[in-house]
Structure 1
Amino acid sequence: MHAPAHWKDAQEALSACCPVMRRLIDASGQAVLQPRGDPYQTLARSIVGQQISVKAAASVWARFEARCKGKVEPLKVSRMRISSLRECGLDPQHWIEHDDEAVIANLIQVRGIGRWTAEMFLIFNLLRPDVWPLDDIGLLRAIGIHWSDDPEHAWKHRSVKASRAEAAQLGERLRPWRSVATWYLWRSLDPLPVSY
């Protein structure tokens, strides 16, 4: 398995700054986030993971299918002109060169793609190291579970998920490796690695 370039640095920094993260990282052994090379598969899986309606997902894919003459396939998409991708709101080079918020702003212009889906794209396709998806239920549940006894936090002794505000507060401690922390927190809830 090939880890993202930032993975080892993130493990060390998160382990040093947070005992809970150290425990989760140690418990995960050699498992690491595995990217999907195809941006469109990442988006598709993120949309499904977002649990949007079938109708909304069909609408999003209709745009891609129309550009690919009926079937979205990596080879067809890779042969598309940049102008066609841009008309769909997609410009891979733009995403690589711009900060996370600019990529999110670009992606959410596509009907059916929301902030959460764009954040999954940043984590799993662009391998951005510092994404903290505050609308992710799994992340909020894991924080509620693992930090329920942490005296530094207001949600002490609570067994339900953390609020967005509480998660945001914790996220500040985990910068600049919040994507890595997110992955370990998800994995603490389900031993199968998350992949979109």
Structure 2
Amino acid sequence: MISSQPIVTRRLYITPPDFLFKTQLLPTNHLPPPMARRTRRKLLLQSESQTDADPPSNISFRTTKIRKISSTQKSDKPQISTPGGGDRTRAFPNQDGPVKSLSSSDVICTAIDHLRRSDPLLIRLLDSCESPNFKSNPPFLALTKSILYQQLATKAAESIYNRFASLCGGDAAVLPDAVLGLSPQQLRVVGVSGRKASYLHDLATKFIEGSLSNSSILEMDDETLLSALTAVKGIGVWSVHMFMIFTLHRPDVLPVGDLGVRKGVQRLYGLKELPKPVEMEKLCEKWKPYRSMGAWYMWRLMEMKEIVKDDGDLKMNTANGGGVVM
């Protein structure tokens, strides 16, 4: 049923608050038009004159400052520092400073303790082997031996080196000038091949010219040393790694290309295949910063002819200590 009452439409007007306006005019509808206009003008003039006396609004507006962005402006973010003075290459765990060389028994004991804590699989091996005792020769003499011992059995290499040293005048006389003064024919008489003679001469030449020296070799970091020594004919990455470990006693060298170390890692972790260099790096990461010691124990592990699991002990049956003579 439709209602007969008229529909009343109401409009809702929303009036803004008075404090948003400086002027509020009084109603003038009751005045005649001319008087109303004059009254409005008068009220408007009075309100403008009182603008400065109006009380401030209770609502505060936060001003926004525009900052200039400069390319040289420093970031407000906190800087993250790393142990070892921010140099990540020297940020060794639990180390207050650069790791010392493996020349003292104290450092060797520290390295063994680190391996024991970082890799539980090494504990029985560490307990079964004697601690290493690294000996060293002057760098030039050690590099000379490295060249002479290449691809030879230990006894044959020792025999050739002894004759070579006698030709020079003894171990102390194995110096760049003396080696460069020996002709390929003289070296061939004592068992040194023509190719190795050229290697020895190239090594001696680099020492005489000054690109290498005993003192500079001791001061070079691992990467620089690797680059400098592999520039010598007959010296490859493996030879440099052995030189770093057994002559310079560098603590954190991992010879990823050494077959004995690779087999030791394979045996230690029960791998089906020999680990590749990238896998070696990952598996032995926990040994840092004493991977040289870890490699040394991998050689010892491979020298074990028989592993007897009796009361948790490993028994070694070897004729000698093994290792590389340098």
TM-score w.r.t. structure 1 length?
A: 0.74
**What displacement does 1:127 show?**
0.4
C-alpha separation between the residues in 2 aligned to 1:24 and 1:138? Answer: 16
Q: Which residue of 2 aligns with 1:75?
A: 172
RMSD: 3.1
**What displacement does 1:133 show?**
0.5
Q: Quickly say closer, same or farther: Cα 1:182–1:171, change in 2 above 3 A.
A: same
Counterparts in 2 of 1:10-159, with a 5 A limit? 10-28=111-129, 30-47=130-147, 51=151, 71=168, 73-77=170-174, 85-87=207-209, 89-148=211-270, 155=271, 158=272
Counterpart of 2:260, as a letter, is G
* Number of matched pairs: 171
C-alpha separation between the residues in 2 aligned to 1:83 and 1:10? Answer: 37
C-alpha separation between the residues in 1 aligned to 2:291 and 2:239? Answer: 16
**What displacement does 1:21 show?**
1.9
C-alpha separation between the residues in 2 aligned to 1:17 and 1:121? Answer: 26
What's the CA shift string for 1:105-136, capped at 9, x where partnerless? 11111100001101111000000000001110
Identify the range of structure 1 (172-181 vs 3-12) with the bigger mean alpha-carbon deviation: 3-12
**What displacement does 1:195 show?**
2.9
C-alpha separation between the residues in 1 aligned to 2:283 and 2:251? Answer: 16
Counterpart of 2:292, as a letter, is S
Contact 2:136–2:246 (CA under 8 A) maintained in structure 1: yes
C-alpha separation between the residues in 2 aligned to 1:90 and 1:72? Answer: 23
Displaced runs of 4 or more, over 6 A: none
Contact 1:33–1:183 (CA under 8 A) maintained in structure 2: no
C-alpha separation between the residues in 1 aligned to 2:125 and 2:149? Answer: 23
**What displacement does 1:73 show?**
4.5
What's the CA shift string for 1:31-61, capped at 9, x where partnerless? 4142232434533444466539xxxxxxxx9
Determine if the alignment matches structure 1 residue 169 to structure 2 residue 282.
Answer: yes
Percentage of pairs with the same residue: 28
Name structure 1 gaps, 5 residues minimum.
53-60, 149-154
Name structure 2 gaps, 5 residues minimum.
1-101, 153-160, 178-203, 304-317
C-alpha separation between the residues in 1 aligned to 2:122 and 2:208? Answer: 39
Q: Which residue of 1 aligns with 2:103?
A: 4
Q: Which structure carries more helix by proportion?
A: 1
C-alpha separation between the residues in 2 aligned to 1:40 and 1:13? Answer: 32
Higher RCO (CA < 8 A, seq sep 6+): 1
Structure number with greater Rg is 2
TM-score w.r.t. structure 2 length?
A: 0.46
**What displacement does 1:104 show?**
1.1
Q: Quickly say closer, same or farther: Cα 1:168–1:38, change in 2 above 3 A.
A: same
